[in-house]
Amino acid sequence: QVSAALKKGHVTPTELCQRCLALIKSTKFLNAYITVAEETALKQAEESEKRYRTGQPLGVLDGIPVAVKDNFSTAGIETTCASEMLKGYIPPYSATVVQKLLDQGAVLLGKTNLDEFAMGSGSTDGVFGPVRNPWSYSRQYKEKPVPESHPEDEASNWVITGGSSGGSAAAVSSFTCFAALGSDTGGSTRNPAAHCGVVGLKPTYGLISRHGLIPLVNSMDVPGILTRCVDDAAVVLGSLAGHDPKDSTTVQDNFKPFELPSLTDVSKLSIGIPKEYHAPGLSSEILALWSKAADLFKNAGANVIEVSLPHTHYSIVCYHVLCTAEVASNMARFDGLEYGHRSDMNKSTESMYAATRREGFNDVVRGRILSGNYFLLKQNYESYFVKAQKVRRLIANDFMKVFRSGVDILLTPTTLSDAVPYTEFIKEDNRTRSAQDDILTQAANMAGLPAISVPTALSERGLPVGLQFIGRSFQEKQLLTVAKWFEKQVKFPMIELEEVKRHDHGVFQHQKSASFS
């Protein structure tokens, strides 16, 4: 809708950019952005405006404000990964996905907040502080009574965004941008998408280039896409997917961007409901919503069957071992010598490295590096690392078996509950939380499958709940088509933010529009 408005001249890219920048300022308390690239964004908007005036926009994304998670390298713009280790680091190149967006004319507003090095499930462990879920300030959440709360507590009742791409999710959810990039290693895009009421897409591993994405787990990382509606996600996917010679893990298949058909007949679809996803700790609300969704498909004529993915329970353990092992390897590059923080200690090379890493990494990162090194010790390699790799094959095979038996799409919950208040969340440590929260999203990363979280309904506390669809490898078109149908059926409500209402006028209507395509 916004793109059409830009084409018709109802709003100009610079106006749009300025509105977004102003909104970012007024929603600063959300702490969604680490760096706001005001000057470059306005410049990009001006260039875009010139193109529209001469009737030659680069495409649907021309002039659309976007945000990028701060673990993607952006040339000339500070990239920190929310860590002391990279504070002040300005990359000399841009990640392929960032460059692709810029080449399409998108306006990069800034870098969003995350958990340090994308390790976490709450976006609370970065050095720039936690991200607040915009829904904490929505009328829908505020009007609900909170048990055992006092009026003074109101300011501290805010809930987390989920993680680790919390900043990106909050940015999209609070209307400061129309699309954002996140990364997904264990659910880091889908988890905050579900908690913030936006669409979170994890593409198939190998579809989108990871060049420039500061790696966490090379065999599972993918760039994730966060938008307000499924059609937008398809548009962004279309501009990002495809082989990249700079990333040897991207497949060479020809990728054709697609438009999503409006599905009317789901009778030929086979929807699988994996029973193991009825995990302990799943809230009864979400269980009920999951059932309702299954019924929705059934009543529309689809074939809805229960399926089994027997190794689901071990997916999180397997992830724990493989993730820490790859992290131990990937974090070895941070030694202070070529870039990033460097300690003043200079007695010897090794002691400088050790001091730099002590000063640069937080507890979570250090913990994972040490665990990873433990599992990779010669005496442990077979029994932990290789064992985990074998279990990984079993998990991937589980999915293969189910898809081969005729199931097209799996339907599962995305999270165990709606967003919890920050004060609740921090009572448990990062590893425990990650182990709990990633349980439903992690297996898709293990098997490299595409998955999408679609906002479904509001919980009793007035907070968003999302449901997840998992598809076959490289079948994003089918996955998104089904997601779009579902999105249309559930009609998820728009967030009602008081700040946004205050600035309400013509141009803003475009901003609040659900989609830009």
Partner 1 sequence: QKVTVDVLDHLERLALVDFRDSEGVERLQKAIQFADQLHEVNTDGVEPMDSVLEDRCLYLREDDVTEGNCAKELLKNAREKVEEYFVAPPGNIPLPKLEERDTYLQSS
Cβ-Cβ contacts under 8 Å for 276 (sequence gap 6 or more): 308, 309, 310, 312, 313
- Is residue 257 within 8 A of residue 477, CB to CB? The reply is no
Q: CB nearer to partner 1: give 4 or 355.
A: 355
Name residue 406's amino acid. G
DSSP code, position 218? T
CB of 36 to partner 1, least distance (A): 22
> What span, in angstroms and rounded, lies between the C-alpha atoms of 436 and 341?
32
Q: CB nearer to partner 1: give 146 or 386.
A: 386
Q: CB nearer to partner 1: give 10 or 243.
A: 243
188 annotated active-site: yes
- Which bin fits 118, alpha (ψ -120 to 50), beta or left (φ > 0)? left
Cβ-Cβ contacts under 8 Å for 417 (sequence gap 6 or more): 281, 282, 283, 285, 286, 459
Q: CB nearer to partner 1: give 152 or 350.
A: 350
The residue ranges that bind partner 1 (CB under 8 A) are: 89-90, 92, 205-206, 219, 243, 245, 248-252, 311, 314, 317-318, 320-321, 324, 328, 335-340, 342, 345-354, 357-358, 361, 363, 366-367, 369-371, 373-375, 377, 383-384, 386-394, 396, 429, 431, 435, 447-448, 473
CB of 406 to partner 1, least distance (A): 22
Which of 164, 173, 174, 209 is catalytic? The answer is: 164
Name residue 257's amino acid. P
164 annotated active-site: yes
> What span, in angstroms and rounded, lies between the C-alpha atoms of 69 and 151?
35
Which of 3, 69, 209, 417 is catalytic? The answer is: 69
3-class DSSP state for residue 43?
A: helix
Which has the closest alpha carbon to 182: 164, 194, 197?
Answer: 164
Which of 48, 165, 168, 188 is catalytic? The answer is: 188
Q: CB nearer to partner 1: give 396 or 426.
A: 396
Q: Is the peptide bond before 291 cis (omega within 30 degrees of 0)?
A: no
- Is residue 187 within 8 A of residue 439, CB to CB? The reply is no
> What span, in angstroms and rounded, lies between the C-alpha atoms of 366 and 212?
23
CB of 475 to partner 1, least distance (A): 14
Q: CB nearer to partner 1: give 252 or 284.
A: 252
Burial of residue 247 (number of CB atoms within 10 Å: 0-12, 13-18, 19+): middle
Residues classed as catalytic: 69, 164, 188
